[in-house]
Amino acid sequence: MGVPGSDTRELIRRHLPARPVLGNAVRALLVGGSISAVGQVMLSFFENRGLPRAEAGSAAAASMIFLGSLLTGLGVYDRLGRQGGMGAFLPITGFANAVTAPAMEFKREGFVLGVGARLFTVAGPVIVYALASSLLVGIVLWMMGMTEPTVRGI
């Protein structure tokens, strides 16, 4: 006598359609690579306009966030996400989509109980864990003497 339910699991496994893993990976690579290429073009654009590398990076990131939010508002980013999978959601534009989409969905409930309450339903945990882990890594590095706390004048 086998493991209870193993026959059922095997039957289900045989009848499920095969997942196109290779095709999904190629589409994710193409979409994510294209988004990253656009970001690189924006970075080069801002550097060629005279911004230092760090400021050009910030300007390019802000531009990509704006572009991701705009494409979400126009309904384009959802189609891009369906085709590109994680290739569309991993770059910073995916984060913009994760913030913008709930805000648009719940705007009819008002700014406080709709947009304000639901704005960070998807992105909120990401922000919390990113801040907590960066704080933890910073403390560990400081305790190991690998970094010094610095304060820069304004």
pLDDT tens across 43-84, in order? 999 999 999 999 999 999 999 999 999 999 999 998 999 999
Alpha carbons 128 and 132: distance in angstroms, whole number = 6
pLDDT tens across 133-142, in order? 999 998 998 8
33 with 87: CB under 8 angstroms? yes
Ranges of H-type helices in 49-122:
53-73, 76-84, 86-89, 92-105, 117-118
Alpha carbons 101 and 85: distance in angstroms, whole number = 16
Domain boundaries, the chain: 22-118, 121-149
The pLDDT, as a whole number, for residue 12 is 83
Torsion angle, alpha carbons of 60, 64, 70, 71, to 10 = 140
* pTM across the whole model: 0.70
Long-range pairs of 20-27 with CB within 8 A, sequence gap ≥ 24: 24/85, 27/83, 27/84, 27/85, 27/87
Long-range pairs of 41-48 with CB within 8 A, sequence gap ≥ 24: none
The pLDDT, as a whole number, for residue 99 is 84
Alpha carbons 90 and 32: distance in angstroms, whole number = 7
- Highest-confidence range of 58-62, 106-110, 121-125, by mean pLDDT? 58-62
How high is the mean pLDDT of the chain? 86
